[in-house]
Amino acid sequence: MTTEPDRMIIPAPHGDIAALAWPAPGQPRLVAAHGNGFNAMSLKPMLGELAGRFDIIAVDMRGHGRTTLPADPESHHGWDIYADDLVHVLAALDRPADLLAGHSMGAASLLLAAGRIDAPPPLALGEPVVLPPAVYLAAHTPLWPLFRARIGMGDRARRRANGWPERAEVLARYRDKPAFASWAPGVLEAYLEDGLIKGPDGWRLACDPAWEGANFESCRHNLMSAAARAGAAMHILKAGQGSTVINARGLERRGAALSVMDGVSHLAPMEAPDRVAQWVAGVWERAGLEAG
């Protein structure tokens, strides 16, 4: 069983950023960020494996979990807004981060944030969403609606069911979905702990499907520019199947170290939290050896 995290609030302009903490005074500070549609609690099975070895803080990204920052899908065009939030978090903490670890959108957002930091710490980026250069170029042109329609995931997210009279109904329904069949025990329950919000008519998703859909279609950010600044600090975990690290070569050309994990998909932290935790710990060990 993993140690239960403490809850913390980081005040920010226009709202609060919620976070989970596994305190370990004197240990390296690890700051973590989750993927699109999830929350910090969804990483509890993975981060719990690292509790005690690292002093951990995991944030709820804007529009997710218990964070209260505004999240307007109509004005959302890129992930720099997440980088802004993460830079704010890093500056607000009582001591600097020694390691940044993220998954999917959270991994890409941490990379964007690292590109704004002088001498960023090591980055353990699990399955960052790194699309072909043409996608990011198209996002700045009138052709973008055609590209966006082909992505498809945004429309699927917006059609997601979002309203149940009882919390237990959500868990029962999700357990029967094939999409969750490969998840490790306890991960679904951890995700739903902060993934649902009680309203006057029942329960709804903390991450509005319209915001989740907008994230899939928001590509006006420059990952390769951030990667060039981060350089050898980047350590990339690529799933053996269904990976979103499509432009891995672009990252490697800018100094990233790439690892491939067989037997997992893009949702590796949900499918194999123990293996991903071991990889994150290995990034820290490797960074120490390289620094020594």
Q: Which residues contact 104 (CB under 8 A, 6 or more apart)?
A: 34, 35, 36, 126, 127, 128, 129, 244, 266
User: What CATH number does the domain containing 266 carry?
Assistant: 3.40.50.1820
The answer as to whether 100 is a domain residue is: yes
pLDDT confidence of 1, banded at 50, 70, 90?
very low
pLDDT confidence of 127, banded at 50, 70, 90?
very high
The answer as to whether 145 is a domain residue is: yes
The closest alpha carbon to 207, from 241, 250, 261, 158, belongs to 158
Asked if residues 64 and 9 have their Cβ atoms less than 8 Å apart, the reply is no
The answer as to whether 116 is a domain residue is: yes
Q: What is the mean pLDDT of the chain?
A: 95
* pLDDT score for 292: 59
Asked if residues 60 and 48 have their Cβ atoms less than 8 Å apart, the reply is no
pTM of the complete model:
0.96
- Amino acid letter, residue 42: S
DSSP state of 68: -
**Across 136-164, average pLDDT:** 88
The answer as to whether 272 is a domain residue is: yes
The closest alpha carbon to 137, from 224, 74, 214, belongs to 224
The answer as to whether 247 is a domain residue is: yes
- Supply the range of the domain harboring residue 144: 6-291
Burial label for 98, CB within 10 Å (0-12, 13-18, 19+), is: middle
Residue 6, pLDDT above cutoff 50: yes
* pLDDT, tens digit (0-9, with 9 covering 90-100), for 98-126: 999 999 999 999 999 999 999 999 999 99
The answer as to whether 178 is a domain residue is: yes
The answer as to whether 1 is a domain residue is: no
- Looking at the structure of the chain, the number of domains it has is 1
* Alpha carbon distance 260, 242 (integer Å): 12
pLDDT confidence of 225, banded at 50, 70, 90?
very high
* pLDDT score for 41: 98
Question: What is the number of other CB atoms lying within 10 angstroms of the CB of residue 79?
Answer: 25
Percent of the chain with pLDDT over 70: 99
